[in-house]
Amino acid sequence: MLFVLPLPEDTDHLNVPGSPQPISKGIIVSSIPNVLHLSVLFSLLIRKNWEYKPKGVLDKTHLRFFTKKSIIEMFNSLGYQIEKIEGINPYRSWKLLIFLAFNLLTFGYFNCSQYLEYACIAKPK
């Protein structure tokens, strides 16, 4: 028997990632905010400010912050393998043109910064 455990926007609110422990044979479907999102980088690099907000990536209730790499590492440490991870909710603003030019100059290094969240599907190893 296989269970699907949807975890939208919950993983970043947990003291210990994965706690309470998911059912060991279940598939985890989650949506996790991306701390490398352009809005966060802009605020940090240009304004030199890490400001918590009522909602969004820097929601003041978030206890942990994730990048694509740290999402994969978290699931691996819990005994899960990422089946699919995809950036969702791309950045939409006039600043996107500046970002695209900057991203082009850095050969796509900051491509992950355009996504607000990552949608993930993980299965037990």
The pLDDT value given to residue 11:
52
The DSSP-derived string for the chain is: ---EEEEETTGGG-SSTTPSPPPTTPEEEEEEEBTT-HHHHHHHHTS-----BSSSTTBTT----B-HHHHHHHHHHTTEEEEEEEEEEE--STHHHHHHHHHHHTTTTTGGGGEEEEEEEEEE-
Quote the domain boundaries for residue 53: 4-124
Question: What total of structural domains would you count in the chain?
Answer: 1
The per-residue pLDDT for 20 is 46
**Mean pLDDT, residues 5-27 taken together:** 54
Indicate which CATH number applies to the domain containing 58.
3.40.50.150
pLDDT at 3 over 70: no
Q: Tell me the percentage of the chain whose pLDDT exceeds 90.
A: 24
Q: What is the pLDDT of residues 37-73, one digit of tens each?
A: 888 888 888 888 888 888 888 888 878 889 999 999 9
